[in-house]
Structure 1
Amino acid sequence: QGRCFLSVCSISGTEPLTQWQRTFDEKQFRKDLQQTKPKWEHRSSSPIDFKSFIQSSLHTDADETAERHSRRTDVLLDSKAPNRLLGEICYQLDRRILSYIFQGHTRLYGFIMANIPNKIIEVSTHPLTGKVDQGYQLHLTQRHAELVERLSQRGYKEALHPPFTEFIVNTYGILTERPSEHSTQEMDYNNPDFLKKVIMTTAPRKLHKDLLVVLTCLCMMAEMDRKPLLFW
């Protein structure tokens, strides 16, 4: 887990022929993630009223607010960028998890963390005959279970972090512009140490622990798929 924060992910390119399609799919996926508000089943010791808990975490006293503002001025000049980076980190993890489980599907319309089991059934069922490909369904189910197990070793909780990341995305938003290629900003955005600093200097203290878990898991996914931390 500690090793993740010491490495800087390399920047990889995108094949020209697929760039437009990926951009189109990306916009739809972001729209689905931000607009969908699933009902989550309470299956852990985390707070039952999760939304109220997170909202209360966003309220900070004057001293903490002043401290965060004094430290974050050294991180980014754009006043909205640090907040949006929090949402982007969470969005990227959700997207990478879905892309890993549904590896053979380039389009992720309507795919969100809350409906993974239903989507596994849907994509393994023939749209015309209704026949279920049991082998493919088992394959996807195993990929999902194995990935959750690996993530859990880094502190990820399936009953807690999917609604947590969704709420952070809806609260803080996501990046609206990609950094220029080979720019300092692009290198910063793919530097775990930089993103950790953004979390520590921007988010309320109560959110630090789970945001760092999300970042650690994103580092793991970046190592698995050999793509940058923030990948467009």
Structure 2
Amino acid sequence: MDMLNSHDVESLQCQNKRLVKENTELRKLVSLQQENVELRTVLSRASRCNDSSPSPKRSCSPRHAQSATKECAASSSQEEMKEAPKHCDSQQIHKMGRIVGEIAFQLDRRILAYIFQDRIRLYGITVSNIPQKIKEATSCRNTGKVDEEQKSNLKLRYNCIMDKLGQFGYDPCVHPGFSEYIVNLFGILKERPQPGSEELKQLMDPENLKKMATTTVPENDLKDVLILLKCLHQLSKEDGKPVFVW
């Protein structure tokens, strides 16, 4: 019996290490996607700036062109943040944006973990493609035979959590794609706050997260972001875990 318990513990430890490694790699991938989005945004702003500028009478040196591009990007950034409180600088706004992205990211992971409770690897599964992944997960690769009982259980969990989140305004036809958009727009937190730190305490306070979202998110997206936050807060209350789980 002792040997069996020891084996079980070792197996759980190995699974935990794999999960931590996969989560780290996923965060790196999301971070790279965010950097690509930011780069395309800067290049797009520079292009619009150059298109709207009067044609110069003489050619500019590469150094002058580079300077003009940076000035245009900086000007656009300042216009976007002009509605932010005066006590928040651009770095703070950027950090709060990542926290908003983390809200969407954490909610998606919470939903997936609830539905696919027996699945260790969640690579390739998003809230948007859950119905497709349920079909794949319950079909035998060799014979194509479907495990109807397992399929029914997964569908039941999916419908259950969607009905639950629907009470807070979550729409399965809208918000899965919206969450992906928010993560790509803002990115997610690159580093976990230190345990017991004031930063971590602020991240676990839904009211504080709401203030950050209100400060950071464009008005057209704010309503949906607050819906994501309400859903995440509700799930955290039900499972007894913090708002953000790493």
TM-score with structure 2 length normalisation? 0.70
Task: Give the drift of 1:34.
Answer: 7.6
Aligned to 1:65: 81
Aligned to 2:113: 99
Give the one of 212, 224, 230 matched to 1:216.
230
Aligned to 2:179: 165
- Compared CA separation, residues 81 and 72, structure 1 to 2 (3 A): same
Matches within 5 A, 1:201-212: 201-212=215-226
What do residues 43-94 of structure 1 show as CA deviations (whole Å, max 9, x unaligned)?
Answer: xxxxxxxxxxxxxxxx9995x8323142545xx9745311101111001111
The farther-off stretch of 26-35 and 168-177 is: 26-35
Aligned to 1:128: 142
Where does the alignment leave 5 or more consecutive residues of structure 1 unmatched?
1-14, 37-58
Q: Is the 8 A contact 1:29 1:108 kept in 2?
A: no
Aligned to 1:23: 20
2:101 and 2:91 map into 1 onto residues whose CA distance is: 18
2:78 and 2:236 map into 1 onto residues whose CA distance is: 36
Q: Is the 8 A contact 2:30 2:187 kept in 1?
A: no
Query: Are 2:81 and 1:84 aligned?
Result: no
1:68 and 1:123 map into 2 onto residues whose CA distance is: 46
Q: Is the 8 A contact 1:82 1:202 kept in 2?
A: yes
Q: Is the 8 A contact 1:28 1:109 kept in 2?
A: no
Task: Give the drift of 1:17.
Answer: 6.0
Task: Give the drift of 1:184.
Answer: 0.9
Aligned to 1:4: none
TM-score with structure 1 length normalisation? 0.74
1:121 and 1:32 map into 2 onto residues whose CA distance is: 26
1:138 and 1:161 map into 2 onto residues whose CA distance is: 24
Q: Is the 8 A contact 1:125 1:132 kept in 2?
A: yes
Question: Secondary structure in 1 aligned to 2:81?
Answer: helix
Task: Give 1:95's aligned amino acid.
Answer: R
Give the number of the structure whose residues are more often helix, by fraction. Answer: 2
Aligned to 1:187: 201
Give the one of 81, 102, 126 matched to 1:112.
126
Aligned to 1:44: none
Task: Give the drift of 1:109.
Answer: 1.1
Task: Give the drift of 1:28.
Answer: 4.4
- May I ask how many residue pairs the two structures share in their alignment? 193
- Compared CA separation, residues 105 and 129, structure 1 to 2 (3 A): same
Task: Give the drift of 1:25.
Answer: 2.1
Task: Give the drift of 1:219.
Answer: 0.6
Q: Report % sequence identity.
A: 37
Task: Give the drift of 1:124.
Answer: 1.1
1:123 and 1:28 map into 2 onto residues whose CA distance is: 23
RMSD between aligned alpha carbons? 2.7
Higher relative contact order (CA 8 A, sep 6+): 1
2:110 and 2:137 map into 1 onto residues whose CA distance is: 18
- Compared CA separation, residues 35 and 148, structure 1 to 2 (3 A): farther
Aligned to 1:226: 240
- Compared CA separation, residues 158 and 61, structure 1 to 2 (3 A): farther
